[in-house]
Structure 1
Amino acid sequence: MMSTAQVLALAGVILLGSMTPGPDFVIVVRNSAVSGRRAGIASAAGVAVGVFVWSLVTAVGIAGLLAASAVAYTVVKLVGAAYLGYLGVRALLAARRGDYALDAEVGPRRHGLRVAFRQGLLNNLLNPKAAVFFIALVPQFLPADPSALSTLELSLVCTAVNLSWFVTLAVAIGALRHVFTRQRVRRAIDAAMGTLMVALGLRIAVQSS
């Protein structure tokens, strides 16, 4: 079992990592702004499940295999970059069309909470930098011969902190949806977030491990 001091230290590191603007941040902010609080929370849940998977597979050593294999790392990196770029291009096309009348009427149901969840999940799982982050972090909080309970405990702490931050972010952004859903504002958001997602995808693609 982790001590209280270890839990607090781990929670602090995970919170700082979660708050750092990156692909997960962009997905949650965009979905909260253009599709509402529930879509943002769905994306936050997807990201949190991804964090749980990464922390768990790191604790049992699987993530280390990904980081050690140049081919596997590159494949995951390029697929993740392509997915982020795809989402960015979709946002840019939406900004160009600017036809949001139907979206405004049906809200997050049309966007689909499952779609928002899937975007958050895939966005996190297809980011190999997450593997590197957890490989550097997890061993510092596990004993030399970790039990299944300590591994699960660590994964749950990581997940809970990440989920808490992104749900808070989704609720805060979603509360202003009446502003963000104005056509001019939403086109600006889609253009900005789309450009940012494409830029992040390109950055991930060209970065070395």
Structure 2
Amino acid sequence: MSPGPDFVIVVRNAAISGRRAGIACAAGIALGVFGWAVVTAIGVAGLLAASAMAYTVVKLVGAGYLAYLGVRALLAARRGDYADAEALGPKQRGPLAAFRQGLLTNLLNPKCAVFFIALVPQFLPADPSLLGTAELGLVATTVTLTWFAILAVGIGALRHVFTRRRVRRALDAVMGSLMVALGLRIAAQGN
């Protein structure tokens, strides 16, 4: 629930493209969480965490993706050629694009792998079954989807405010700056 790349991408999608895009983004993030739970269960996440090179590659690709999304938002803010919400129609960015952004933002975050490696063993017996690990992953996925869907609905309800030209420009500038800053921070952090 703490603000991070997933939080920023859901807020931006819900604010600009509405509830449906925000919920699609949340579903992408939830699928990413489930993916990390699965790779943790089969041990791949442990290899990623143990391999400094693999961790660094995923970290840098993820940081680059966040920076790319941030730069796109900053360029949109600079152009500032927004139409009012009424002229935009019900959607600006399709749910599929929002889903893809949520999924990639989560999958390209190696901290998710580290999180699952640190979290999962504490809640499993010494000799865990695949089913037990999958259940824990499903719980994490459900909690993630629920939290981000609630966030998307809340932000999406205020879309009429967020899509006003001046507000949208400020939102793109702030969210773009946050995504670039998060990307740079992730890239600069050590393992």
Same fold by TM-score greater than 0.5 = yes
Instruction: Report the count of equivalent residues.
Output: 190
Mapped contact 1:23–1:200 kept (Cα < 8 A): yes
Residue 202 (structure 1) aligned to one of 160, 175, 184: 184
- CA distance in structure 2 between the aligned counterparts of 1:175 and 1:116, rounded to whole angstroms: 17
Residue 35 (structure 1) aligned to one of 6, 9, 17: 17
Alignment of 1:42-121 (within 5 A): 42-101=24-83, 104-108=87-91, 110-121=92-103
Q: Moved runs in structure 1, 4+ residues, more than 3 A?
A: none
Cα gap change, 1:114/1:33 in structure 2, threshold over 3 Å: closer, same or farther?
Answer: same
* SS of equivalent to 1:101: coil
Q: How large is the RMSD of aligned CA atoms in angstroms?
A: 1.2
For residues 161-194 of structure 1, the C-alpha deviation after alignment (integer angstroms, 9 at most, x for no partner) is 0100000000000000010010000000000000
Partner of 1:173: 155
Shift of 1:102: 8.2
Q: TM-score scaled to structure 2, two decimals? A: 0.96
Mapped contact 1:67–1:73 kept (Cα < 8 A): yes
- CA distance in structure 2 between the aligned counterparts of 1:46 and 1:149, rounded to whole angstroms: 23
For residues 33-87 of structure 1, the C-alpha deviation after alignment (integer angstroms, 9 at most, x for no partner) is 1110111001100000000111121122110000111110110000000000000
Partner of 1:161: 143
Quote the sequence identity (%): 76
Q: TM-score scaled to structure 1, two decimals? A: 0.88
- CA distance in structure 2 between the aligned counterparts of 1:77 and 1:152, rounded to whole angstroms: 25
Letter in 2 for 1:162: T
- CA distance in structure 1 between the aligned counterparts of 2:84 and 2:165, rounded to whole angstroms: 12
Note the residue ranges of structure 2 that are not aligned, 5 or more in a row: none
Q: Which moved more, 1:32-41 or 1:50-59?
A: 50-59
- CA distance in structure 2 between the aligned counterparts of 1:96 and 1:84, rounded to whole angstroms: 18
